[in-house]
């Protein structure tokens, strides 16, 4: 399949031009993409749904601002997985072209909103951890539940507004401008702006986590020096340090999964992409799903509260399973013995 040039993309803003972006040519490539999307997407939805259940089913976690931010992250990953898998597989595997420009931009806006909200939730979580570690005595006054909900509301509204700009008119068809080589109907200037936004979010997250790690390092040194005098406070500081390390692990996975996609997006703005690179971009896009799938695993392994809730849930499930496997004869015999 010939590569659509930038000039052709800008001059032919019709649904038929979307065929130029369907770069998977062999059946093996389509099967591989579909398998990765369905596998990562299914696990992501299941794991993040489990995280949401564990948080909101426990009175101790659902009231904490830090877990509200983690809930926002889990919700964003669920939405991103559902919208991304459905639209991505439908477009690249089944090569569905029976949709309008508005429909495609709406789906793209949903994916952008979810992934942007995921990054923004990580930023709020980093800020929350920094306040918790640096100013523990004032944490409850500074980070209230009302402020946490307000921050999440502003976050989601802002992400949805920015992601809906192409649908509202900032696209290469309406402006008759240069189209992106990676996304149909998307203006190159908008793609550059969105990349800058993502880079700013990543930079702020790295900056916040650098301060979290610095404060955590200070706490560790303080514990080693005054371990005998700390008592119960020692346990609290260790929990803060552990959670800080957990969030750094989340950030590391985030950067590793998003770097290939962002690098190819930036490269597409300044140079023309070959057909091979666009295929690489399609496969690298599935790494975003991998990131959403790994985050809940890190929570379960590193967060003691969520891990304890998960163990209790599995224990209840095993008890119910054993109770259901009891034979009617045994149940009747037990009832007879009790009556006797």
pLDDT single digits (tens) 11-53: 455 555 677 777 777 888 888 888 988 999 999 999 999 989 8
Q: Which domain holds residue 137?
A: 24-309
Domain count, the chain: 1
- Domain assignment present for residue 249? The answer is yes
Tell me the pLDDT of the chain averaged across its residues. Answer: 80
CA-CA distance, 67 to 230, in Å (whole number)?
26
At 196 the pLDDT is 92
At 300, which CATH number?
1.20.1070.10
- Domain assignment present for residue 339? The answer is no
pLDDT at position 217 over 60 = yes
pLDDT tens profile 225-281: 766 555 555 555 555 666 667 767 777 887 888 889 999 999 988 888 888 888 888
At 54 the pLDDT is 87
- Domain assignment present for residue 338? The answer is no
Q: Cα dist. 255→32, 112, 250, 251, 252 in Å?
A: 23, 17, 9, 6, 5
pLDDT tens profile 78-112: 999 999 998 888 888 877 767 778 888 898 999 99
Residue 103, number of CB atoms within 10 A of its CB: 13
- Domain assignment present for residue 122? The answer is yes
CA-CA distance, 274 to 229, in Å (whole number)?
64
- Domain assignment present for residue 332? The answer is no
- Domain assignment present for residue 177? The answer is yes
The segment with the largest mean pLDDT, out of 249-253, 285-289, 297-301, is 285-289
Tell me the pTM.
Answer: 0.82
- Domain assignment present for residue 219? The answer is yes
- Domain assignment present for residue 335? The answer is no
Inter-residue contact 51 to 299 (CB < 8 Å): yes
């Amino acid at each position: 399949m010939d590569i659509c040039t930038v000039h052709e993309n800008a001059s032919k803003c019709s649904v038929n031009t979307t065929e130029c972006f369907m770069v998977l040519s062999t059946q093996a490539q389509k099967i591989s993409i579909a398998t990765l999307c369905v596998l990562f997407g299914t696990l992501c939805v299941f794991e993040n749904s489990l995280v949401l259940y564990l948080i909101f089913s426990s009175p101790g976690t659902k009231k904490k601002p830090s877990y509200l931010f983690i809930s926002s992250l889990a919700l964003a990953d669920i939405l991103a997985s559902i919208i991304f898998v459905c639209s991505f597989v439908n477009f690249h595997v089944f090569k569905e072209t029976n949709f309008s420009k508005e429909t495609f931009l709406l789906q793209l806006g949903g994916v952008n909103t979810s992934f942007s909200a995921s990054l923004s939730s990580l930023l709020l979580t980093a800020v929350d951890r920094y306040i918790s570690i640096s100013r523990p005595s004032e944490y409850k006054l500074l980070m209230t539940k009302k402020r946490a909900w307000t921050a999440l509301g502003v976050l989601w509204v802002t992400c949805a507004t920015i992601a809906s700009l192409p649908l509202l008119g900032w696209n290469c068809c309406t402006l008759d401008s240069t189209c992106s080589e990676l996304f149909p109907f998307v203006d190159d200037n908008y793609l550059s702006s969105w990349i800058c936004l993502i880079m700013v979010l990543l930079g702020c997250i790295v900056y916040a986590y650098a301060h979290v790690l610095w404060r955590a390092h200070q706490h560790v040194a303080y514990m080693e020096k005054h371990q005998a005098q700390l008592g119960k406070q020692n346990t609290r500081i260790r929990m803060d340090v552990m959670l800080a390390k957990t969030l750094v692990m989340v950030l590391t996975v985030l950067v590793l999964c998003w770097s290939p996609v962002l690098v190819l997006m930036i490269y597409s703005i300044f140079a023309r992409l070959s057909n091979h690179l666009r295929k690489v971009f399609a496969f690298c896009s599935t790494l975003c799903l991998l990131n959403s799938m790994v985050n809940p695993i890190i929570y379960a392994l590193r967060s003691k509260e969520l891990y304890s809730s998960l163990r209790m849930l599995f224990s209840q499930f095993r008890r119910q399973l054993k109770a259901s496997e009891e034979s009617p004869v045994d149940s009747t015999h037990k009832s007879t013995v009790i009556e006797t």
